[in-house]
Amino acid sequence: MPILNKPALYLPEYIITLEETIELAKREFKDSPNLKKAIDLINNTGVKKRHIIQPIELASLHPGFGYRNAVFEYQSKRLVPDVICQAMNNAEIMPGDISAIIFVSCSGFLMPSLTAWLINKMGLPYNTVQIPIAQLGCAAGGAAINRAKDFIAAHPGSNVLIVSCEFCSLSYQPTDSDIGSLLSDGLFGDAITAAVVTADQGAGLELLKNSSYLIPDTEEWIRYQVKDSGFHFRLDKRVPGTMEPLAPVMTELAAASGWEIDNLDYYIIHAGGPRILDDLCKYLGVAREKFAFSRDTLVNCGNIASSVVFEAYRRMWEAGSLNSGDRGIIAGFGPGISAEMSLSEKR
């Protein structure tokens, strides 16, 4: 069975704290009638700090979408290779052992995908299958894991490299003062993660069964409005309530394997915000501390989009809390509203 090995992580050197976020909001949006409510919501996220790819003085400017996308290309090419090397070292494989590369990001656009550049730069085989995923947002981390498992099932003996590169700060819009935009300004952070899914080696999580689900008629609830100035994040106030319909889907996935969703050993859950985690605990009947590593990621990194599940898993690994035979679930949520879920067992 496919094995999800220990992920590698890069967090940018520039940090913005909760206090700095609030000061920025007060300065940039002092005339907005939504400011007070937005600050209350930002305080309630629990996010203490976030890492961003540029100093806040540059991140809060808007020199144009073209410039920001150029920053995405430059920084991803500068930083991603080292993270990949760490991930391959964790999996104890070489570039020539890779059969497919999945690149996920919702914060920049390149064509050809960065996958083509990485094949040339990293010495991957020229017949490496390229699978870029650009429009699943925060759910893309879970989707990448599931597609890697599916690829290996179709191509036995393959190894799949997953790369998540999220520079959410490049989507900051200084003219957007609606509640959803202001909240996102204090919630999202930047990160790069990478992990290798190996076919028959490694000591990570054995991927057993996966599932996808779309909540009907919610496609407008999380979206980008694309303008000349770039990506404008739109967030519906109903989004936090989506865990109630998703909890039964996760319960059914576990039950199909004879597992009880409220009695698993670990939960690697997308940290979209504190209410997402709190509600999911409630509807699954899971103790709050079971989501500790997802909460830690939220507190120390913010919502790092598709990278969250990899960073929560990395934190879990580093803490030494995973034991052979432990069973758990990985779940990512994003636009659609989409859910990508996977049952796994510690090898």
Amino acid at 335: P
The residue among 294, 44, 304 whose CA lies nearest residue 183 is 44
The continuous run of DSSP H or E covering 79 comes out as: helix 65-91
The C-alpha R_g of the chain, in whole angstroms, comes to: 19
Residue 206 contacts residue 46 (beta carbons within 8 Å): no
Could you write out the DSSP letters of every residue in 83-94?
HHHHHHHHHT--
Structural tokens at position 162: 């997953």
Catalytic site residues?
A: 138
**Element housing 104 (H / E):** strand 100-104
Cβ atoms 173, 137 nearer than 8 A = no
- Give the torsion through C-alpha atoms of 169, 179, 242, 214, to 10 deg: -60
Whether the CB-CB separation of 188 and 318 falls below 8 Å is answered with no
- By residue count, the chain amounts to 347
Hey, what are 296's tokens?
């830690």
Kindly give the pairing relationship between strand 14-17 and strand 49-52.
antiparallel
